Amino acid sequence: MENIVVAVTVIGILGVGAQWLAWRLNLPAIVLMAIAGILAGPTFGLFKAMVGDGYTDGLAPVEALFGDFYRPLIGIAVAVILFEGGLTLNFSEIRGLSKGIRRLVFPGVPIAWGFGTIAAHYIAGLSFPIAVLFAGIMVVTGPTVIIPLLRQSKLSARPAKILKWEGIVNDPIGALLAVFVYEVLTFDTTHGSGTQIAAALFIGTLLAVLFGFCIGQVIAHLFRNGHVPEYLKPPVLLTSVLLCFELANQFQDEAGLLSVTVMGVTLANAKIASINELRHFKENITILLVSGVFVMLTANLTWDTLQAIDGRMIALILVMLFIVRPAAVFLSTVGSDLPLKERLLVGWIAPRGIVAVAVSSFFATSLVANGHPDGAKLIPLAFGMVFATVVLHGFTISPLAKILGLASREKPGVLIVGASVWSVGLAVKLKELDINVTLADSSWRRLRPARLANIPTYYGEILSEVTEHHLDFNRFGYLLAVSGNESHNALVCTDLAPELGRTQIFQVNARGKNEENRQAMSHTLQGKTFLHSAVNIDDLLRRHYLGWTYQRTKLSDEYTPETYLKDAREGQDIILVIRKGVLIFASEELRVKPEIGDTVLAYVPPVSVDDKGTDTNNADKEDSPKSG
């Protein structure tokens, strides 16, 4: 028991550590988690040493260590992962997708499933039932893998949207296919006639679906009508998933996997106002489980398992990459609005992720026990597909996009987090300067002025992982965190800095940077302090109501930077300069020095009658003779 506690601790450190390192290096987490597991398991034998004298060569080390607890632990984790997959499948979002994306789901999924089955059966030599199961699992292109690849490749909007939504939608669909085939293969056929067996399987499947639907509807009703307080929703949801999983398993072995997936789909379409808060369940619980399970699965590999990847398996992986995927994409998109170059890119890019490996590994042991010995081949095949697709697609997506002319040529835009009258005014001015800008806030009411001004908005919590499904971060090169919550601004800057670069992350002043001030936030948790004056959002709002305005000025040989600075009103703040098409935002750390040819955007106080003899709040000096 003491060794099990140590093992759980090691698994947690390796899993979460790999996730953190992937975040820091902007790499797919699945690769680093797999490397961590292989180093701890087959390479250094860390878990084999924990088993001690009871270890037998050829036995999977982690399974030997956990004993009878191994399969239940993996089963619960896979159930939660599949529930999370179902929770992302909103039917209204599918209806709103373009024709090309819908074609990749249907008939794309059945075509890929059929071609994959033929390839697995005739090339890798898998029995037909196992080939059907393997092909069903491999239709999944997980969003946890595809989204980081899209981020690094800077794809154009349409192909990026196609690949992203295909992964989001196919994730639960592939899981449903795999679970259904698994139910058929493992159903006890030792009793009764063929008709009785078919009827029993149909009833068992129907009950599993019914359990998932009913429990999902009950939870939706409780949440919708306020019968569960906010702080209890995550534990109630987790308990409900476990209840659904176990109830369905009591009627039919492993039917719980199908049941929890249906439960997730039910909740995703139940029109619950707090659905985004429910998805925090995934972010807090599922990420931890995924980390742990993936390290356990890779550490449980033995050299015998890895050496089982023979020439036929390698040939199958190559056929899946170069024939099955392209053929499925080209056939399913015939008659769609996708041009040839986009079909070529989408036909090549299809990285498999954690769901494929977790489901394959969980099914393999049970299939062998149920009289399907080649079910053991699922594990090396799944790992081989994941490594091949993540590595090959990760290294080729950017060059291929450039060759095909699908790399985005759009200038990096500005993401403003925090809606207020001040930030809406800034967004309007940036739009007038032909700068792509989006205003994000979790309050629909605060976003209303931006919507009325035709400013693109994102309604939702920017820190939510679900945001990656709906907001294309590839479009942005700069971040302004200007909400009224200083801690939230700091979290946004910390979270998005690896993606946008720390030099392009700004936030309004967080009560100064005096380390002796108890209210001051550590500078390591903040972005650059926005504006030379380092004023906070309260001061900016106060200035807005006092009549401060945005002023745009073009500098030239006639109206030089020196003249501009001399004419500057007392207290005015330079917000940014546009120099040769590049935005340079002002910050406390780095003062912006205007140059000839720059366009300067400043925030200026009003001119009183006493000061100049005239009252003017005209904010655009390009209309004046001095602007040049």
H or E stretch covering 602 = strand 599-604
Average pLDDT over residues 247-252: 81
Would you call 28 exposed, middle or buried from its count of C-beta atoms within 10 A (0-12, 13-18, 19+)? buried
| The pair of three-digit structure tokens given for residue 361, joined into one six-digit string | 């590994």
Residue 558 lies in a domain: yes
**Is there a single domain that holds both residue 295 and residue 362?**
yes
The pTM of this model reads: 0.66
Residue 408 lies in a domain: no
**Is there a single domain that holds both residue 367 and residue 421?**
no
- The most confident of the ranges 55-64, 129-138, 285-294 is 129-138
**Is there a single domain that holds both residue 82 and residue 111?**
yes
**Is there a single domain that holds both residue 80 and residue 173?**
yes
The percentage of the chain sitting over the pLDDT mark of 70, rounded to a whole number, equals 84
Residue 329 has pLDDT above 90, yes or no: yes
How many other C-beta atoms lie within 10 A of the C-beta of residue 202?
A: 10
- Report which of 385, 384, 380, 371 is spatially closest to residue 129, judged by C-alpha positions: 371
| Cβ pair 588, 532 in contact under 8 A | yes
Burial 166-183 (b: 16+ CB within 10 A, else e): bbbbbbbbbbbbbbbbbb
Per-residue model confidence as pLDDT tens digits over 190-247: 555 557 666 776 787 788 889 899 999 999 999 888 888 877 888 888 899 999 988 8
- Report which of 216, 132, 218, 223 is spatially closest to residue 174, judged by C-alpha positions: 132
**Is there a single domain that holds both residue 113 and residue 148?**
yes
Sheet holding 457-459, edge to edge: 457-459, 437-441, 413-417, 476-481, 505-507, 528-529
**Is there a single domain that holds both residue 423 and residue 460?**
yes
Count of the separate structural domains present in the chain: 2
pLDDT value at residue 189:
55
CATH number of the domain to which 272 belongs: 1.20.1530.20
Q: Give residues with Cβ within 8 angstroms of 95, minimum separation 6.
A: none
AA letter at 125: G
| Cβ pair 490, 497 in contact under 8 A | no
pLDDT band at 518 (very low <50, low <70, confident <90, very high): very low
Residues of the domain holding 99: 2-403
User: Which sign does the torsion angle of CA 269, 272, 274, 277 carry?
Assistant: negative
Average pLDDT over residues 544-555: 92
**Is there a single domain that holds both residue 171 and residue 291?**
yes
Q: Which of 368, 403, 438 is the last residue of a domain?
A: 403
pLDDT value at residue 144:
67
626 or 190, which is more confident? 190
Per-residue model confidence as pLDDT tens digits over 287-323: 777 788 878 878 887 777 777 778 899 999 999 999 9
**Is there a single domain that holds both residue 371 and residue 428?**
no
pLDDT band at 114 (very low <50, low <70, confident <90, very high): very high
Q: Give residues with Cβ within 8 angstroms of 336, minimum separation 6.
A: 99, 100, 103
**Is there a single domain that holds both residue 423 and residue 394?**
no
Q: Give residues with Cβ within 8 angstroms of 470, minimum separation 6.
A: 458, 460
Work out the mean pLDDT of the chain and round it to a whole number. 81
pLDDT value at residue 628:
37
pLDDT value at residue 150:
76
Residue 185 has pLDDT above 90, yes or no: no
**Is there a single domain that holds both residue 47 and residue 93?**
yes
H or E stretch covering 505 = strand 505-507
590 or 480, which is more confident? 480
Q: What are the CA-CA distances from residue 335 to residues 106, 115, 428 (Å)? A: 13, 21, 40
Average pLDDT over residues 261-274: 82
Instruction: Tell me if residue 512 falls in helix, strand or coil.
Output: coil
Residue 105 has pLDDT above 90, yes or no: no
| Cβ pair 353, 368 in contact under 8 A | no
Q: Which of 362, 381, 403 is the last residue of a domain?
A: 403
**Is there a single domain that holds both residue 150 and residue 94?**
yes
H or E stretch covering 538 = helix 537-545
Residue 112 lies in a domain: yes
CATH number of the domain to which 448 belongs: 3.40.50.720
- The most confident of the ranges 138-152, 382-396, 460-474, 530-544 is 530-544
Residue 513 has pLDDT above 50, yes or no: no
- 43 phi and psi angles, rounded to 5 deg: -75, -60
Per-residue model confidence as pLDDT tens digits over 422-475: 999 999 999 999 999 999 999 999 999 999 999 999 998 888 766 776 787 778
Residue 625 has pLDDT above 70, yes or no: no
Q: Which of 403, 421, 438 is the last residue of a domain?
A: 403
Q: Give residues with Cβ within 8 angstroms of 529, minimum separation 6.
A: 506, 507, 508, 509, 510, 513, 587, 588, 589
**Is there a single domain that holds both residue 222 and residue 136?**
yes
- Report which of 321, 319, 310, 323 is spatially closest to residue 376, judged by C-alpha positions: 310
146 or 176, which is more confident? 146
pLDDT value at residue 481:
93
pLDDT value at residue 514:
47
pLDDT value at residue 255:
76
- Residue whose structure tokens are 């926005």: 530
pLDDT band at 254 (very low <50, low <70, confident <90, very high): low
